[in-house]
A and B are shown apart, each in its own frame.
Chain A
Amino acid sequence: MDLQRKLAILADAAKYDASCASSGSQPRDSLGGRGIGSTEGAGICHSFAPDGRCISLLKVLLTNHCQYDCLYCVNRASSNVPRARFRVDEVVQLTLDFYRRNCIEGLFLSSGIVKSPDHTMEQVVEVARTLREDHDFRGYIHLKTIPDASDELIARAGRYADRLSINVEMPTTEGLQALAPEKDESAIRRSMARLRLRIDDTREEARRVVPIRALPGAAPAAAKPPPFAPAGQSTQMIVGADATDDRQILASSATLYGAYKLKRVYYSAFSPIPDAARALPLVAPPLMREHRLYQADWLMRFYGFGHQEIVAEPDGLLRLDVDPKLAWALAHADRFPVDLNHAPREMLLRVPGLGVKAVERLLQARRVRRVRADDLRRLHVPARKVLPFVVADGHRPSRGAPMPSPAPQRPAQASLF
């Protein structure tokens, strides 16, 4: 099979993974090295597909042969999709070629399970090793980790990769048991715990190293411990393949963030796949619901919301017609209007339309003068959205409800059950 065909099959197989981040690693560049590549903190989206998703990494599977039979997966053992398998050097060359063209930030490599978890993980790690050691590649590498792989392989994966991820795929244990009989949720959690401990230990060690002045006059330098996944770990949940509601999904996310210090939980709306399993009737993917989950996730991570207070609807689903922050404000009208000149930071953060940066600026400005309503326009916040919820000099919201709230629409996906 020629390379074009393999790439087509194995990119097709990888497109259901939502993760795309190439950020958060240690800064490094290729000056003085033997190859190419750099990471400078923020990731770069080099292109966008018509599905609105960014292309930042070359996202492929090493092989889409798989011995597992997870019903939601296009590559499950019982599916009739065409199969292919990359050789290690093919992935390495593709990565370097796309990188030289400045099309990508690096590689995101995943794989179907062939022969055994250890054998598969070994192949994946070998790609990363070749890039790092033989080609001195200093771009970004994200490796999908197989929960049942041995400790030693995980340690090597973390040495070469910037980020590791293990997908829980289903938000609940029951969902996973029903749709992915070979996957074991507790093994996944144990693996995440294993990664977190290693990431923490490496950070701790790096902090403890005392810089030593090797030569008189030279800047003191520290022997850094070998890195382990400096950009941390992430995971993904499929939304809408089972009947789990948003409240449970957010509770699962909060648990994962709290227990394993994940950098990100990605949500992937279950979308039609070619040759789908009989058990999962297909409808258009619940994209709006996915979007609302990302917004809710943001509220948990940056706005001080607890997972249990975000979903107010009795059916346990986020409203699709308004964003979760606005939904919360409408459900807690008694907490508004918020006085921009006196309210504490945590309450300003709950005002619909005010972002973290805008809140910082307001707090700064408040120290030297009174905040007026027209300041909001200068902050480039959506004034129409903010004004009904705030009091400022020269502005009081009109009496009565801030805005009419139409009844939430039920997501189409729920009709499956």
Chain B
Amino acid sequence: MHVRLDDPVDLDAFRRHARQLLAAGVPPDRVEWNAAQAAGDAADLFGAASDAAPPAALASAAQHQPVPAWFVELCGDVILHRDSQRFALLYRLLWRLSHEPALRHDPLDADLMQARQMAKAVHRDIHKMRAFVRFTRVQGDDGLERHVAWFEPEHRIVEANAPFFSRRFAQMRWAILTPERCVEWNGQALAFQGGADRREKPPPDAGEQLWLTYYEHIFNPARLKLAMMRREMPRRYWHNLPEAALIQPLAEAAAARSQSMIEAPPTAPRRIRAPVALHLRPAAGVAPASLGELRAAAHACRDCPIGALATQAVCGEGPLGATHMLVGEQPGDQEDLAGRPFVGPAGQLLDRAMAQLGWARDAVYLANAVKHFKYELRGKRRIHKTAGQREAEACAHWLDSEISLVRPQGLVALGATAARTLLGRPVAVQTERGAWLHERGDGRPVFVTLHPSALLRLPYPEQGEAFGRWLADLALARGTLSAAIAA
């Protein structure tokens, strides 16, 4: 049975025919497909039934055959391919999809692979057209400016690809001429016509030289890689690319140019001057005189290995002379990025607790015992690691400096690392929490309680009760400081 399609890329006509043939149970090896070379070609080689009139016997039998959505999409791509066997392949696949249930789940079937390869070739051609069409400015007889391009696609992709160009160049009048189809956009709508002749390709316009200058100078002669270039920009496109004429001269001169750069004797530097000092680094070993100085010095600190891998040192924030200084363990991922303490999940929990107590966050000074974020990379995520004892000890002097600058009356240690740094001994948080301890040489009392992240790690049912207890601790630390100092 012959089936003839008048338009080589008319998917609807093909679907109509295929559906009818399938319904009538015509196996793929009994159908011979042929199509015009281009829409409008009426050369009928076989004198077979044209698509306007499908055989009556089939029309009545036509019914809806469900096929997977991806197959319809695949048909849409494959039909644009230049291979004359594309209809036969697609009908064979349709037949097999409706007779072999496992086929749709088998990505390695030979027919499917071939169709996918064809679709891939079409996609590549579509992509290359988007890349290698080169518009030339043309002044029309009507005084209007148009941009015209001549292009030779491999497959029948002009109709399918035209909308891309109208989306991209919406406010421009343009036309793309190809041997089989031409398309024009007037700013409102696309219009298609038959093929054009090479001779209609517009001559280069005055502005093209700038593009050629750019092409010539963005090339680095020390990195000649012609094979790589040809793989991405095959020769078959060159005769329509204005810049391609430069490839050979540039390539030929490349070796000499890079050799002369290598051999050139060094010239005297243009001028000698001291480097611009943009980032002042405080001298080592001097106690910082202000929080700003402390911050700059802590940034540059490399006394332990943590600092090298972090974004920045996160020093405390809050008013000088705050009554309470709350000390946490170390900055986490979010704090490391923002450069502020307690802005991540644990910080949000602390904010919630303080809000419930009516305790303003900016009334206290918030700090961490360790100034840099210690983490371990897992894939692309930074997972928090507790600082080692040595690291915490190396970092302790920064917190001491902060205490002497801020001069708080009482210190609240959130968690074991902070407690250890402030008290200079290992502390069991659960047994020593909830009371002011008078152990520091400077006379400041220390109140120990949990770190908010310890609450976040608890299983959900226990969180509510633990939060309540922690809230009570904080309220106590807030309310009993003056009594503790007097004691």
Residues of chain A having any CB pair with chain B under 8 Å:
3-4, 7-9, 11-12, 14-16, 29-38, 40, 44-55, 58-59, 67-69, 77-80, 94, 97-98, 100-103, 117, 148, 173, 181-182, 184, 186-187, 189-190, 192-194, 196-197, 254-255, 257-261, 269, 271-278, 282-285, 287, 304, 306-307, 361, 364-365, 367-369, 371, 375, 378-380
- Taking CB atoms, residues of chain A closer than 8 Å to B283 are none
Given contacts A67-B276, A94-B210, A187-B279, contact A31 B166 (CB under 8 A): yes
- Taking CB atoms, residues of chain B closer than 8 Å to A304 are 379
Complex CA gap A71/B271 in Å reads 14
Given contacts A78-B271, A365-B107, contact A12 B217 (CB under 8 A): yes
User: Closest residue of chain B to A7, judged by CB?
Assistant: B213
- Taking CB atoms, residues of chain A closer than 8 Å to B217 are 7-9, 11-12, 15
Q: Assess the B247–A35 pair: CB atoms within 8 A.
A: no
Complex CA gap A192/B113 in Å reads 44
Q: Assess the B233–A102 pair: CB atoms within 8 A.
A: no
The stretch of B17-25, B40-48, B222-230, B438-446 that contacts the partner chain: B222-230
Q: Assess the A278–B266 pair: CB atoms within 8 A.
A: yes
Residues of chain B having any CB pair with chain A under 8 Å:
102, 105-108, 110, 113, 117, 127, 130-137, 147, 149, 164, 166-172, 207-211, 213-229, 232-233, 241, 243, 247, 250-251, 254, 258, 261-262, 264, 266-267, 269-273, 275-279, 299-300, 308-309, 311-312, 336-339, 377, 379-382
User: Closest residue of chain A to B258, judged by CB?
Assistant: A272
What's the minimum C-beta distance from A23 to chain B, rounded to whole angstroms?
A: 12
Given contacts A50-B247, A50-B254, A182-B275, contact A30 B219 (CB under 8 A): no
Q: Assess the B131–A193 pair: CB atoms within 8 A.
A: no
Q: Assess the B211–A50 pair: CB atoms within 8 A.
A: no
User: Closest residue of chain B to A361, judged by CB?
Assistant: B107
- Taking CB atoms, residues of chain B closer than 8 Å to A47 are 131-132, 215, 233, 241, 243
Q: Assess the A378–B108 pair: CB atoms within 8 A.
A: yes
Q: Assess the B171–A55 pair: CB atoms within 8 A.
A: no
User: Closest residue of chain A to B221, judged by CB?
Assistant: A51
Q: Assess the B108–A375 pair: CB atoms within 8 A.
A: yes
What's the minimum C-beta distance from A334 to chain B, rounded to whole angstroms?
A: 24
Complex CA gap A34/B187 in Å reads 11
Q: Assess the B226–A258 pair: CB atoms within 8 A.
A: no
What's the minimum C-beta distance from A105 to chain B, rounded to whole angstroms?
A: 9
Q: Assess the A46–B218 pair: CB atoms within 8 A.
A: no
Q: Assess the A368–B171 pair: CB atoms within 8 A.
A: no
Complex CA gap A37/B278 in Å reads 39
Complex CA gap A30/B166 in Å reads 8
Given contacts A36-B168, A259-B311, A282-B261, contact A103 B211 (CB under 8 A): yes
What's the minimum C-beta distance from B472 to chain A, rounded to whole angstroms?
A: 33
Complex CA gap A361/B279 in Å reads 53
Q: Assess the A255–B377 pair: CB atoms within 8 A.
A: yes
- Taking CB atoms, residues of chain B closer than 8 Å to A285 are 222-223
Q: Assess the B211–A282 pair: CB atoms within 8 A.
A: no
- Taking CB atoms, residues of chain A closer than 8 Å to B215 are 47, 49, 55
Given contacts A189-B312, A258-B382, A282-B261, contact A44 B218 (CB under 8 A): no
User: Closest residue of chain A to B114, judged by CB?
Assistant: A378
- Taking CB atoms, residues of chain A closer than 8 Å to B264 are 274-276
Complex CA gap A77/B272 in Å reads 9
Q: Assess the B338–A197 pair: CB atoms within 8 A.
A: yes
Given contacts A32-B170, A100-B169, contact A51 B220 (CB under 8 A): yes
Partner of B171 from A14, A36, A44 at Cβ < 8 Å: A36
- Taking CB atoms, residues of chain B closer than 8 Å to A173 are 308
Partner of B169 from A30, A59, A80 at Cβ < 8 Å: A30
What's the minimum C-beta distance from A192 to chain B, rounded to whole angstroms?
A: 8
Complex CA gap A276/B110 in Å reads 57
Complex CA gap A55/B132 in Å reads 11
Q: Assess the B172–A48 pair: CB atoms within 8 A.
A: no
- Taking CB atoms, residues of chain A closer than 8 Å to B130 are 44
Complex CA gap A277/B267 in Å reads 8
List of 3 A-B pairs having minimum Cβ-Cβ separation, nearest first? A52-B228, A52-B225, A78-B269
What's the minimum C-beta distance from A151 to chain B, rounded to whole angstroms?
A: 12
Q: Assess the B272–A78 pair: CB atoms within 8 A.
A: yes
User: Closest residue of chain A to B382, judged by CB?
Assistant: A258
What's the minimum C-beta distance from B146 to chain A, rounded to whole angstroms?
A: 11
- Taking CB atoms, residues of chain B closer than 8 Å to A375 are 108
Complex CA gap A315/B250 in Å reads 37
Q: Assess the A30–B382 pair: CB atoms within 8 A.
A: no
Given contacts A47-B233, A269-B223, contact A258 B254 (CB under 8 A): no
Partner of A49 from B218, B261, B381 at Cβ < 8 Å: B218
11 A/B residue pairs, CB under 8 Å, sorted by A: A30-B168, A33-B171, A34-B171, A46-B132, A50-B254, A52-B229, A101-B136, A182-B275, A190-B311, A275-B264, A378-B113
Complex CA gap A16/B102 in Å reads 53
- Taking CB atoms, residues of chain A closer than 8 Å to B311 are 186, 189-190, 192-193, 259
Complex CA gap A16/B337 in Å reads 29
Q: Assess the B223–A368 pair: CB atoms within 8 A.
A: no
Complex CA gap A50/B134 in Å reads 19
Q: Assess the B220–A79 pair: CB atoms within 8 A.
A: no
- Taking CB atoms, residues of chain B closer than 8 Å to A69 are 275
Complex CA gap A380/B453 in Å reads 51
Complex CA gap A264/B260 in Å reads 33
- Taking CB atoms, residues of chain A closer than 8 Å to B269 are 78-79, 277
Partner of A11 from B218, B224, B251, B312 at Cβ < 8 Å: B218
- Taking CB atoms, residues of chain A closer than 8 Å to B167 are 29-31, 38, 40
- Taking CB atoms, residues of chain B closer than 8 Å to A48 are 228-229, 232-233
Complex CA gap A30/B264 in Å reads 49
What's the minimum C-beta distance from B362 to chain A, rounded to whole angstroms?
A: 20
Complex CA gap A74/B475 in Å reads 62
Q: Assess the B278–A184 pair: CB atoms within 8 A.
A: yes
Q: Assess the B210–A77 pair: CB atoms within 8 A.
A: no
Q: Assess the B218–A14 pair: CB atoms within 8 A.
A: yes
Complex CA gap A182/B136 in Å reads 45
Complex CA gap A330/B105 in Å reads 34
Q: Assess the B134–A103 pair: CB atoms within 8 A.
A: yes
Q: Assess the B380–A257 pair: CB atoms within 8 A.
A: yes
- Taking CB atoms, residues of chain A closer than 8 Å to B258 are 271-272, 284
What's the minimum C-beta distance from A290 to chain B, rounded to whole angstroms?
A: 9
Q: Assess the B106–A368 pair: CB atoms within 8 A.
A: yes
Complex CA gap A94/B217 in Å reads 15
Complex CA gap A283/B262 in Å reads 6
What's the minimum C-beta distance from A166 to chain B, rounded to whole angstroms?
A: 13
Complex CA gap A367/B272 in Å reads 70
Given contacts A48-B232, A59-B218, A271-B223, contact A364 B209 (CB under 8 A): no
Best-surrounded residue of B134, B172, B222, B266 (most CB of chain A within 10 A): B222
- Taking CB atoms, residues of chain B closer than 8 Å to A371 are 108
What's the minimum C-beta distance from A279 to chain B, rounded to whole angstroms?
A: 9
User: Closest residue of chain B to A79, judged by CB?
Assistant: B270
Q: Assess the B105–A368 pair: CB atoms within 8 A.
A: yes
Complex CA gap A290/B290 in Å reads 46
Partner of B270 from A31, A37, A80, A197 at Cβ < 8 Å: A80
Q: Assess the A186–B218 pair: CB atoms within 8 A.
A: no
Q: Assess the A277–B224 pair: CB atoms within 8 A.
A: no
Q: Assess the A4–B213 pair: CB atoms within 8 A.
A: yes
Complex CA gap A21/B377 in Å reads 26
- Taking CB atoms, residues of chain A closer than 8 Å to B133 are 102
Q: Assess the B169–A190 pair: CB atoms within 8 A.
A: no
Complex CA gap A258/B261 in Å reads 38
